[in-house]
Amino acid sequence: MTDNPEEPLIANSQLAEGGDRHEDNHDIEHAHDPRPGKHHISPPGLFIWLLTFSAGISGLLFGYDTGVISATLVSIGTSLSSRPLTSLDKSVITSCTSLFALLVLPFASSLADDRGRKRVVLFADTLFIIGALLQAFSHTVEMMVVGRSVVGVAIGAASFVTPLYIAELAPATHRGRLVTMNIVFITLGQVVAYIVGWVFGTYGSPETTGWRWMVGLGAAPAVAQVVILLWMPESPRWLVKEGRSEEARGVIARIAGTENDAQETRREVDAILKNIEIEVREEAMATRFDGAGHGGNAMSAWKEAMRELFRVRRNRRALAIACLLQGLQQLCGFNSLMYFSATIFTMVGFSEPTLTSLVVAVTNFAFTLVALVLIDKVGRRRILLWSLPFMMTGLVLAGYGFSFIELPDSETSSPKTTGAQGGAIIILTSIMIYVAGYAIGLGNVPWMQSELFSLNVRSVGSGVATATNWSANFVIGLTFLPLMEALSPSWTFVLYAVICAVGYGLISRVYPETAGLSLEEAATLLEADDWGVR
Ligand SMILES: O[C@H]1[C@H](O)[C@@H](O)[C@H](O)[C@@H](O)[C@H]1O
Regions of the chain short of the pLDDT cut 70: 1-43, 204-208, 258-261, 283-298, 407-419, 534
What does 149-192 look like in DSSP terms, one character per residue?
Answer: HHHHHHHHHHHHHHHHHHHHHS-GGGHHHHHHHHHHHHHHHHHH
Q: What is the pLDDT of residues 20-64, one digit of tens each?
A: 333 333 333 333 333 333 344 456 778 888 888 888 999 999 999
Q: Which amino acid is at 189?
A: G
Does any ligand 1 atom lie closer than 6 A to the CB of residue 466?
A: no
ipTM of the complex: 0.98
pLDDT of residue 18: 29
Q: Where are the alpha helices (DSSP H) in 403-441?
A: 420-440
Distance in Å, CA 441 to ligand 1 centroid: 11
Residue 443 beta carbon below 6 angstroms from any ligand 1 atom: yes
Express as a percent the part of the chain with pLDDT over 90: 43
What confidence score (pLDDT) does residue 168 get? Answer: 86
pTM of the model: 0.81
Question: Rounded to whole angstroms, how far apart are CA atoms 479 and 219?
Answer: 30
Cβ(363) – ligand 1 distance below 6 Å: no
User: 183 CB under 6 A from ligand 1?
Assistant: yes
Question: In testing the pocket of ligand 1, which one of 70, 329, 476 has its CB within 8 Å of the most ligand atoms?
Answer: 329
H/E segment holding residue 123: helix 117-136
Question: Does any ligand 1 atom lie closer than 6 A to the CB of residue 456?
Answer: no
Distance 443 CA to ligand 1 centre (A): 6
How confident is the model at residue 285, as a pLDDT?
Answer: 66
- Ligand 1, atom 4, residue with closest C-alpha: 443
Residue 257: which of 182, 179, 176, 174 has the closest Cα?
174
**Rounded distance from Cα 27 to ligand 1 centre (Å):** 38
- The span from the CA of 350 to the CA of 345, in Å, is 6
Query: Cα(177) to centroid of ligand 1, in Å?
Result: 16
186 CB under 6 A from ligand 1?
A: yes
Q: Pick the atom of ligand 1 nearest to 368's CA.
A: 4
Q: What is the pLDDT of residues 460-486, one digit of tens each?
A: 898 899 999 999 998 888 888 888 889
pLDDT at residue 451 in the model: 85
Can you give the pLDDT at residue 129? Answer: 97
Half-sphere exposure of 370 (CA within 13 A, CB side): 16
Whether residue 138 has its Cβ less than 6 Å from ligand 1: no
